[in-house]
Amino acid sequence: DVQEQTAFDVIVVGSGAGAMASAVVAADQGLSVLVVEKSDKYGGTSSISGGGIWIPNNHHFAAKGGQDSYDKALQYLRAATGGCVEEVRLRAYLDNAPKMIKYLESRSRVRYAVAEKYPDYYQHLPGSLPGGRTLDPELFDTSVLGTDLAALRQGAPSNLLMGRIAWTARQAHKAMSREFGWRLMVLGLMLRFKLDLAWRRKSKFDRRAALGTALIASLRRSLQDRKVPLWLKTEFRDLVMDGDRARGVRVQREGREMVLEARRGVVFASGGFEQSQALRDKYLPKPTVAGWSATPPGNNTGAALEAGMKIGAATGLLDRAWWAPTIRVPKEEKPRGVFAERAFPGAIVVNGLGRRFVNEAAPYLEFVDAMYQDQERSGAKSIPAWVVFDANFRFNYAMGPLMPSQIMPDSRLRKEWLNSVYWKSDTLGGLAAQIGVDAKGLEETVLRMNDYARTGVDAEFARGGNAFDRYYGDTNVKPNPCLAPLTKGPYYAMRLDAGDIGTKGGLLTNEHAQVVRDDGTPVAGLYAVGNCSSAVMGTGYPGAGATIGPAMTFGYVAAMHIAAAK
Ligand code: FAD
């Protein structure tokens, strides 16, 4: 009985994208593999994510005639990572990321397509591209999972069209930016969903998974193909060492203590520490609250980090996270990340003085960095910050859980959302009073912003001044697709917390994904990938998919290294 087996070549801790990619590759290399997952669901944050992966020089872009090169990507990565990552790791990423995705697509059920229009996040840096490095998962038919479908962690409702219909990031983008033909496309998706009569009888959700859930479902099916066991409700507690070599793990499986032997290697892929308030208090800038994180509550509490530190592993970037502003919605288990809406024309973000402090359309990591900097610099109460918009914006665009009022007017919004998810007033002054923001400051800011909308130039923060900002702009709005005046009441405000989509500090690893000590020597038999490792992306977020891309790539690298080691 495979369930009772307690010795394996490789034990993978966690079941996110990096974990499962590693397990698939290790199994292909002829190694016996076990995946242990603490939750009763598999997939982790990876499963509720966009599932995008940032892969410079990928074969999909090349097949479409895209121009990228290793040297260009290296130049960009050097600049984007803030100079704190050893070049050998950057090179390992650039060498292996394209190989990893080619490998998985040719050997497993994983399928991606290129998001040609998704620009790298730092358009001003040398070597950046206006698109082509981000890959977006294809939809995946989850009916092939059989009974394992029940334990698949489902994506957040905001990831699906109307909370239940699967769509790719490319399709979602087309609708959000109201590109030509978006209405017809949405209608088509809805029709296909309704007409899937067999599945409609079984489930209120789409048969097909999208985004991160599609990625995780495809990896789960790939593990089934290889008969790799995945134990749910099995929590890693500690390492078992044999001298200075990792030789196994101590776990608690459905309440029972067990020791599992890992003959060739342990791969930590158990996420960051964003769900541990104690570790947040210890390492992250203040104020910090686990409840602001858009990640699944209770999952990622830094178990690998603590076990690694106990055996003398080096760490890095512990004061950093993959920041993203979030909005809390009552009755939802976790807050929602606000990735795109900040760039839509006519929404501005202000601090307690009613002043802007950042380009609203900036990448989400930089946006929250700016919240902390503004808070620190001027004590301006930018945590929380407030996003403010008018009735025109409300009519046309979504903001967090508020769908455009042309689809969902205020009268149809949940009553309890008023004054908890959104605030509303006929005047800016009235709105400012409700949310405790300086009224005069807000009114001046809006006047100034309305001027910028007319000229198309944001003289303070250059919003809409590059391809990344404009990706989520409205192509129909001129002269600047990210700027529109706020002129029509009622006015609305929503609270933005200094949230995250995972922490990015963790165990330091080398180019083989091996955990290293302070002196740089590897801990034999111990690997770390994903957010339990110190991010190869350093202090930056070079492009969409820059967290899962590395998690999967170094998962692949770790498996290959274990297989090659004698
Ligand atoms: P996870 O995917 O969280 O996996 C860790 C797993 O380990 C979890 O299942 C957890 O339960 C388990 N675990 C934890 N502790 C233990 C233990 N002690 N024993 C056993 N198991 C344990 N990033 C991108 O690159 N592209 C995107 O498109 C993207 N979109 C996102 C959208 C949203 C809404 C969010 C919230 C995040 C997004 N991210 C995206 C970020 C990305 O999802 C995470 O950074 C990434 O998934 C982390 O991967 P991981 O493998 O480190 O952790």
Summarised one tens digit per residue, pLDDT across range 428-487 is 999 999 999 999 999 999 999 999 999 999 999 999 999 999 999 998 999 999 999 999
State the DSSP H helix or E strand holding residue 371, giving kind and residue range, or none if neither.
helix 364-378
- Is any atom of ligand 1 closer than 6 Å to the C-beta of 81? no
Among residues 360, 344, 358, 356, which one has the least CA distance to residue 399? 344
Among residues 201, 160, 198, which one has the least CA distance to residue 47? 160
pLDDT at residue number 16: 98
* Distance (Å) from CA 281 to ligand 1 centroid: 20
Q: To the nearest 10°, the Cα dihedral for 62, 66, 67, 71? A: -50
Beta bridge partners of 509: 515
- Look at residue 407 and give its three-state secondary structure: coil
- Look at residue 320 and give its three-state secondary structure: coil
- Is any atom of ligand 1 closer than 6 Å to the C-beta of 530? yes
pLDDT at residue number 3: 52
- Is any atom of ligand 1 closer than 6 Å to the C-beta of 13? yes
* Distance (Å) from CA 332 to ligand 1 centroid: 18
In the chain, what's the furthest Cα-to-Cα distance? 72
- Is any atom of ligand 1 closer than 6 Å to the C-beta of 337? yes
Spatial distance between the Cα atoms of 53 and 386, rounded to a whole number of angstroms: 30
Quickly tell me which residue has 């092939």 as its tokens: 144
Quickly tell me which residue has 């990622």 as its tokens: 300
The amino acid sitting at 406 is: Q
Are 214 and 138 contacting, i.e. CB atoms less than 8 angstroms apart?
yes
Tell me the CA distances in angstroms from 152 to 332, 427, 545, one per residue in order: 18, 46, 21
- Is any atom of ligand 1 closer than 6 Å to the C-beta of 464? no
Spatial distance between the Cα atoms of 206 and 214, rounded to a whole number of angstroms: 11
* Distance (Å) from CA 101 to ligand 1 centroid: 18
Spatial distance between the Cα atoms of 195 and 205, rounded to a whole number of angstroms: 13
- Is any atom of ligand 1 closer than 6 Å to the C-beta of 236? yes
Domains of the chain with CATH codes? 1-152+210-323+502-566 (3.50.50.60), 161-205 (no CATH), 326-496 (3.90.700.10)
Phi, psi of 424 (to 5 degrees): -150, 140
Q: To the nearest 10°, the Cα dihedral for 133, 139, 142, 148? A: 20
Classify burial at 478, counting beta carbons within 10 Å of its beta carbon; exposed 0-12, middle 13-18, buried 19 or more. Answer: exposed
* Distance (Å) from CA 549 to ligand 1 centroid: 12
Beta bridge partners of 492: 389, 424
- Is any atom of ligand 1 closer than 6 Å to the C-beta of 327? no
Half-sphere exposure in the Cβ direction for 357 (13 Å, CA): 29
* Distance (Å) from CA 355 to ligand 1 centroid: 34
- Is any atom of ligand 1 closer than 6 Å to the C-beta of 132? no
Tens of each residue's pLDDT in the chain, 566 residues:
445 789 999 999 999 999 999 999 999 999 999 999 999 999 999 999 999 999 999 999 999 999 999 999 999 999 999 899 999 999 999 999 999 999 999 999 999 999 999 999 999 999 999 999 999 999 999 999 999 999 999 987 778 888 889 999 999 888 877 788 999 999 999 999 999 999 999 989 899 999 999 999 999 999 999 999 999 999 999 999 999 999 999 999 988 999 999 999 999 999 999 999 999 999 999 999 999 999 999 999 999 999 999 999 999 999 999 999 999 999 999 999 999 999 999 999 999 999 999 999 999 999 999 999 999 988 889 999 999 999 999 999 999 999 999 989 999 999 999 999 999 999 999 999 999 999 999 999 999 999 999 999 999 999 999 999 999 999 899 999 999 999 999 999 999 999 999 999 999 999 999 999 999 999 999 999 999 999 999 999 999 999 999 999 999 999 999 999 97
Half-sphere exposure in the Cβ direction for 363 (13 Å, CA): 24
Are 302 and 276 contacting, i.e. CB atoms less than 8 angstroms apart?
yes
Give 204-260 as a DSSP string.
Answer: SS-SEE-HHHHHHHHHHHHHHHTT--EESSEEEEEEEEETTEEEEEEEEETTEEEEE
Pairs from 450-453 (Cβ < 8 Å, separation ≥ 24):
450/485, 450/486, 450/487, 452/480, 452/483, 453/345, 453/346, 453/480, 453/483, 453/484, 453/485
The amino acid sitting at 28 is: D
Spatial distance between the Cα atoms of 284 and 317, rounded to a whole number of angstroms: 10
Among residues 136, 96, 107, which one has the least CA distance to residue 25? 107
- Is any atom of ligand 1 closer than 6 Å to the C-beta of 160? no
Residue 6 has a CB neighbour count (10 Å cut-off) of 10
Ligand 1 atom at minimal distance to the Cα of residue 43 = 9
Among residues 564, 566, 563, 561, which one has the least CA distance to residue 30? 563
Task: Output DSSP code: residue 42.
Answer: B
Both tokens of 434, joined, read: 């409700």
Task: Output DSSP code: residue 175.
Answer: H
- Is any atom of ligand 1 closer than 6 Å to the C-beta of 543? no
